[in-house]
Structure 1
């Protein structure tokens, strides 16, 4: 089928919930929904069309939703994914499986739709080809770096994404630690620059050839910058 407007993949084996969500999403005439009641159906749909967002149940009958999310990311899916979890689900951080965020059932329909709209807006503001950072393309909504010329994908945490996104917007300028800390964590008295330094250290271990001699995310007097 030809993609028009916004295309959403809804994967859930609860037929009643699928129907309700689909009806609400289709109130927007520019939105199309593809439904899947299993992981196999969701994978097939993702291979056939390019989606703008995915609503994914964590408890599909044929495969755990987190495993499915990893499989979808491995297939090249780079759009936002909202993982819909069971009330007692205390699984890993959704970012660990490639999900953008999670929401626990039962949820208010309006809350889910508001989150979805916010993610779609954020994705629309990002260049479809990704943001260039050193030898990588940065896909913020997928929380991922793709290495140019290779198939390697580097998963990022939410905070790592926020650090890279803010430094990228600075266009090579040095951002002082306090500013970066406030932009990423908010002005929380319980968070110190040590928190930022720890995240930068971990990020460098993912992206630098030699983390001890950073060439991409470099330290400057008082702060950090990304090398264009």
Structure 2
């Protein structure tokens, strides 16, 4: 069973959402799960509240009355380093990709289930809590990665990866649980000159799945976010 990240305090969540019924639903559900809540019904109010004290996580609606949520996201990311999860009725892939490329940790389309949102929040908080700690190795399921020796094992047997496959895997593991866009992965692994070459990524992801997945056709580690990118399941 998943458990909440152990903070010194109950995690503080800022909800920037103009629809009162959604804020009410989120407030009731999140407080029952042990979260502390701050609320804002506009971009201006949300940006003001976010500075004192900064919350542990922000839930941000894109359809705000006074300013586009994408602009709010960009302004927040100038200084705010904790997780931001987008809540929006905009389900176009272009909107998701834009938000993720501008620093969102995840994107949940309305209407959403609270179970899904809570799971995404726990993942984002766990990742944020681990940031800055340098592990020498990590084990996820039957997959083990030794960062010091740059070796990868599945079921205790060494998996031979090319340098690019290893770099791709490590990039995904470092951001486990987050949706990583095609452009982000291409830029991180191949460099900015190849940030539009999606076919590179498809080929290498397929090769990596063949090596680390029990059943590459039904992957349990590298999950496809259709039209957007990939998510590495870190559970």
TM-score, with length taken from structure 2:
0.57
CA distance 1:204–1:13, change in 2 (3 Å):
same
Q: Distance in 2 between matches of 1:107 and 1:182?
A: 30
Q: How far off is 1:68 after superposition?
A: 0.2
Q: Is the 8 A contact 1:11 1:42 kept in 2?
A: yes
Is the partner of 2:125 in helix, strand or coil?
A: helix
Q: Is the 8 A contact 1:87 1:106 kept in 2?
A: no
CA distance 1:180–1:98, change in 2 (3 Å):
closer
CA distance 1:172–1:66, change in 2 (3 Å):
farther
Once the two structures are superposed, the pairs formed by residues 90-109 of structure 1 within 5 Å of their partners are: 90-91=94-95, 93=97, 94-109=99-114
Q: How many residues align?
A: 156
Match of 2:205 in 1: none
Q: Distance in 1 between matches of 2:74 and 2:107?
A: 15
Once the two structures are superposed, the pairs formed by residues 47-58 of structure 1 within 5 Å of their partners are: 47-58=51-62
CA distance 1:4–1:67, change in 2 (3 Å):
same
Q: Is the 8 A contact 1:39 1:62 kept in 2?
A: yes
> Which residue of 44, 50, 54 corresponds with 1:46?
50
CA distance 1:172–1:36, change in 2 (3 Å):
farther
Once the two structures are superposed, the pairs formed by residues 16-31 of structure 1 within 5 Å of their partners are: 16-29=21-34, 31=35
Once the two structures are superposed, the pairs formed by residues 185-224 of structure 1 within 5 Å of their partners are: 199-202=188-191
> What do you get for the CA RMSD once the two structures are aligned?
3.4
CA distance 1:14–1:197, change in 2 (3 Å):
closer
> Which residue of 100, 118, 122 corresponds with 1:117?
122
Q: Is the 8 A contact 1:67 1:97 kept in 2?
A: no
Is the partner of 2:59 in helix, strand or coil?
A: strand
Is the partner of 2:82 in helix, strand or coil?
A: coil
TM-score, with length taken from structure 1:
0.58
Q: Distance in 2 between matches of 1:39 and 1:197?
A: 32
CA distance 1:173–1:36, change in 2 (3 Å):
same
Structure 1 portions without partners, runs of 5+: 132-166, 187-195, 206-228
Match of 1:150 in 2: none
Match of 1:85 in 2: 88
Match of 2:147 in 1: 170
CA distance 1:172–1:97, change in 2 (3 Å):
same
Is the partner of 1:47 in helix, strand or coil?
A: coil
> Which residue of 60, 64, 69 corresponds with 1:65?
69
List, as ranges, runs of 4+ consecutive aligned residues in structure 1 with deviation greater than 6 Å: none
Q: How far off is 1:21 after superposition?
A: 0.6
